[in-house]
Structure 1
Amino acid sequence: MLPVIVALAWPTMLEQAMNTAVQYVDAAMVGRLGAQATAAVGATTTINWMIGSTVSALGVGFLSFIARAFGAGDRQRAARVSGQAVLAVLAAGLLFTVLPLSLSRRVPVWMQAAPEIRGQASEYFFILYTPMLLRAASIVFGTALRAAGDTRTPMRVGVVMNLVNVTLNYLLIYPTHSVGPLTVPGAGLGVRGAAVASAAAYAVGGLGVTRALWRHPVISPRGQRLRPDWEILGPCLRVALPAALQRFGTSFGYVAFAAMINALGTVPLAAHSIANTVESAFYIPGYGMQTAAATLTGNALGAGDRKRLRDLAGMLLTLEAAMMVLSGTLLFLFAPGMMALFTPDAAVIALGAGVLRMVALSEPFYGVAIILEGMLQGAGDTVTPFFFNIAGMWGVRILGTFVCTRVLGLGLKAAWGCMIAHNLLLFLLLLIHHLRSEKRERAFFAQDAS
């Protein structure tokens, strides 16, 4: 069991690590332009999360059914599901191209960004969403490949995508300059250059993953009719819809959360934006293992192997807890140094390091919650995580942050305290649900055996 988990998880972890490294490079390069440039990029980050996570929720529905079909050895059904995923990508990609482009001027205003950064933030947002169709393909088709047990291809595509991003960042953000005896050409586009680099990388990633899916020996959509097949599409959407509502609802909560952070001023916003970038690296073990949890849960259910499913749960949760304890310890120890990589501003470093050390203490609990949610997704249960996430986001994080920042006049640390409380509640709710489900299953099989 352990070799299978590792084989599925390590490419996803490496892919996440590379993506995070590129985020670090992006943030560091933009950060050298000053706090206003960092704030301009950070002002729309939460909207980016909302749209990206809503599209990725579509992949969850297809993940569950491809993983089950793959586990049952039903190649024809797996290919049919993949064909319906193409339709979903076309619909979502077009929708989330038209809406962001048409609303790009208003988004920074809605996010309560400072007037002096709204122009840059709007332009950055517009450029970023120009290739959204290919970005949607990268997200959903990558999920389909992982559901079929291929986590290496998305990783390889990610390597190319990140190399494109970093190279173009360097050439487009800064003006022509000298490095020793060499003259390095540069466009000097600043924030606009960072947006163009990211958009180009998304396009390359989408093309690469689409090519890989079309060439896959089992789940290629070649030969499938590109029209709704409701026998397949209906169940996939029933799984995807709660996941999409959850991610949209929680992401909209992130928007509300970020808007309250934005209102605290430029220094708290810059600290919050950079701290989020730093923090994301320390969730790599969690999200890498979540992919393995979802895929293997779907495979086990497709094969009808309940014992394998129980063994899988125990091993995944133990591994995840151990890795996230280590991750949280490293984050706590190196928080100031990590912040200093992205900004020379002492006030931003001090504030960001403080909130990072707070969240480091909750890392193991959130890691376990990530795995439990991944197992539910692999089983096709997206309703339970939907209710738990919405309750935690709006009942704890948003309400708590509103009271702390708007009523009590507290700052960024209080807001992050509310975020941590939300994560701890999610851990408790998912753990209780998991233990109760195991108890019901044991009772059912004991009764059946008698």
Structure 2
Amino acid sequence: MEQSKKRRLNFGMAGVIWALAWPTMLEQLMQTAVQYIDTAMVGSLGTQATAAVGATTTLNWLVGSTISAVGVGFLAFIAKALGAGEKDSAKRAASQAVLSVLAVGIVVTVITVGLSGQIPKWMQVDEGIRDLAGQYFLILYLPMLFRTASTIFGTVLRAAGDTKSPMKIGVVVNLVNVVLNFLLIYPTRELTVFSFTFTMWGADLGVIGAAVASAIAYIVGGILITIVLWRHPSVSPKGQSLKPDMKIIKPCLRVAMPNMLQHFGTSLGYVAFASMINALGDVSTAAHTIANTVESAFYIPGYGMQTAAATLAGNAYGANDGKRLKELARMFFPIEIALMIFSGAALFFAAPALVSIFSDSEEVIRLGTTVLRMVAVSEPFFGFSIIMEGMMQGVGETKRPFVYNIVGMWLVRIVGTFICTGFFDLGLVAAWACMIAHNLFLFVLFLICYAKGRWNPFRKVREA
């Protein structure tokens, strides 16, 4: 009887996990599809255009992940509040998220726009494409307030269990981006569809057109997600004060700050990593950019499940249900690892065809395929780390992931890449080998953390 009850509980929990995870996966799949299309469209303009767009990609990760860390603080607070049945606290936290969007969005806009001319130099971008890379970056960061709203408000909605609204908005944003890319990147030309030939207008803006298309899409997304949050029954900030509320801000910051420092430190590492690769030349930069784009699609199962893990762990923590928290962990890991084994195998076999979508250079295709097949083998190990980190974010434990990620990034990936490329001239393959070593290092640390129960806040209660 007990066994039957437990089985029903597991199936019920699996359904909840899937209901939360699939919209996030689909949203990320759409984003990745558009990233594929963007890269392919720009790639048709030549290797230099691809390099100009990709040269500052890691800096985009730095800014984006630092902002998303702010959202993690609100995710932990709101998921815990709703798990405890404290709906008013969740709404007050949403109003503080609005305040954070205004403050963070304005500050980041001023900094990124002001430094847009210098960033390509710091990234060691080739002088021939430096001005173009700077213009692309500037246009991309002018609507930073809207981008911040999309990131933080999207996290607030997911913390409330609403993963479908961000997904739907993501679909709209991606469609806007693709249509505008089609109109702004290319010149006016003759097109043939089903034997019907017609003149298609085009602005012929090239890389700049791609930036303008993305900027407009960001604005649309920021406006739509703000409207959805305002109307949401559980986390609408309507009627709440926008004055700073330290009772909410302090616990959110306790979770957000280590996560923010982690993302800032690791993303800064990505910048250093990319600058070393940029110094290897256009072919390595293009292959690295394309490989990153291709690889991102195969992380979708991992990060989709991470959102569900963080939300459900926060709910269980708020409900003071240690048994449910442990059951969630036991269910998430096998599901996640199975998904990542499947995605890793697909990446390994599909790598040549996928890289060839974005470039017709044999050298770029060969190099991109090699590094993708290398990283495909490490996907299941990385998947474990993603879920463990998500569970820890949900219960507000962000200090250990901060330490693990900073040490792994700087002592394993950056130092290793610096030695391999700077002293032994081993090129892109060696740099990606260092990246894989970083992922395996994180797997070992998170596995030890899980085995010893250091991630579980109820462990401290039992020990006391």
TM-score class, shorter: over 0.9
Aligned-pair CA distance for 1:178: 1.3
Of 155, 166, 170, the match for 2:182? 170
Between the aligned partners of 2:363 and 2:369, the Cα distance in structure 1 is: 10
Residue 27 of structure 2 aligns with an amino acid whose one-letter code is E
Of 389, 398, 412, the match for 1:382? 398
Question: Counterpart in 1 of 2:122?
Answer: 110
What does 1:213-362 correspond to in 2, within 5 Å?
A: 213-362=229-378
What does 1:27-46 correspond to in 2, within 5 Å?
A: 27-46=39-58
Shift of the 367–31 alpha-carbon distance from structure 1 to 2, 3 Å rule, reads: same
Residue 242 of structure 1 aligns with an amino acid whose one-letter code is P
- What's the RMSD between the two structures over aligned residues? 1.3
Give unpaired runs (5+ residues) of structure 2: 1-12
Is 1:201 equivalent to 2:213 in the alignment? no
Per-residue CA deviations over 1:277-336 (Å, capped at 9, x if unaligned) read: 000000000000000000000001111111111111011101000000000000000100
CA contact (8 A) 2:67 2:260 kept: yes
Segments of 4+ moved more than 2 angstroms: 438-448
Between the aligned partners of 2:60 and 2:267, the Cα distance in structure 1 is: 9
Aligned-pair CA distance for 1:438: 6.7
Aligned-pair CA distance for 1:183: 1.4
Between the aligned partners of 2:254 and 2:224, the Cα distance in structure 1 is: 29
Shift of the 259–443 alpha-carbon distance from structure 1 to 2, 3 Å rule, reads: closer
Of 85, 98, 101, the match for 1:73? 85
Shift of the 78–443 alpha-carbon distance from structure 1 to 2, 3 Å rule, reads: closer
Identical pairs, percent: 62
Shift of the 7–443 alpha-carbon distance from structure 1 to 2, 3 Å rule, reads: closer
Aligned-pair CA distance for 1:354: 0.1
Shift of the 415–439 alpha-carbon distance from structure 1 to 2, 3 Å rule, reads: closer
Per-residue CA deviations over 1:19-44 (Å, capped at 9, x if unaligned) read: 00000000000000000000000111
Residue 393 of structure 1 aligns with an amino acid whose one-letter code is M
Shift of the 443–12 alpha-carbon distance from structure 1 to 2, 3 Å rule, reads: closer
Aligned-pair CA distance for 1:441: 8.0
What does 1:45-194 correspond to in 2, within 5 Å?
A: 45-180=57-192, 181-194=197-210
CA contact (8 A) 2:27 2:167 kept: yes
TM-score of the two chains, using structure 1 as the length reference: 0.98
Shift of the 92–440 alpha-carbon distance from structure 1 to 2, 3 Å rule, reads: closer
Shift of the 65–393 alpha-carbon distance from structure 1 to 2, 3 Å rule, reads: same
CA contact (8 A) 2:255 2:398 kept: yes
Aligned-pair CA distance for 1:447: 7.3
Question: Counterpart in 1 of 2:8?
Answer: none
Aligned-pair CA distance for 1:163: 0.2
Between the aligned partners of 1:149 and 1:370, the Cα distance in structure 2 is: 19
Question: Number of paired residues?
Answer: 448
Residue 409 of structure 2 aligns with an amino acid whose one-letter code is M
SS of the residue corresponding to residue 409 of structure 1 reads coil
Residue 14 of structure 2 aligns with an amino acid whose one-letter code is L
CA contact (8 A) 2:453 2:459 kept: no
Give unpaired runs (5+ residues) of structure 1: none
Is 1:394 equivalent to 2:410 in the alignment? yes
Between the aligned partners of 1:141 and 1:325, the Cα distance in structure 2 is: 32
Per-residue CA deviations over 1:255-293 (Å, capped at 9, x if unaligned) read: 000000000000000000000000000000000000000
Of 433, 444, 461, the match for 1:417? 433
Shift of the 122–366 alpha-carbon distance from structure 1 to 2, 3 Å rule, reads: same
Of 350, 360, 367, the match for 2:383? 367
Aligned-pair CA distance for 1:379: 0.5
Shift of the 444–160 alpha-carbon distance from structure 1 to 2, 3 Å rule, reads: closer
Aligned-pair CA distance for 1:434: 1.2
Residue 34 of structure 1 aligns with an amino acid whose one-letter code is G
Between the aligned partners of 1:410 and 1:284, the Cα distance in structure 2 is: 30
TM-score of the two chains, using structure 2 as the length reference: 0.95
Aligned-pair CA distance for 1:224: 1.3
Residue 231 of structure 2 aligns with an amino acid whose one-letter code is R
Residue 26 of structure 1 aligns with an amino acid whose one-letter code is D
What does 1:15-26 correspond to in 2, within 5 Å?
A: 15-26=27-38
Residue 145 of structure 2 aligns with an amino acid whose one-letter code is L
Aligned-pair CA distance for 1:226: 1.1
Shift of the 246–439 alpha-carbon distance from structure 1 to 2, 3 Å rule, reads: closer
Residue 175 of structure 1 aligns with an amino acid whose one-letter code is P
SS of the residue corresponding to residue 184 of structure 1 reads strand
CA contact (8 A) 2:61 2:267 kept: yes
Between the aligned partners of 2:462 and 2:358, the Cα distance in structure 1 is: 57
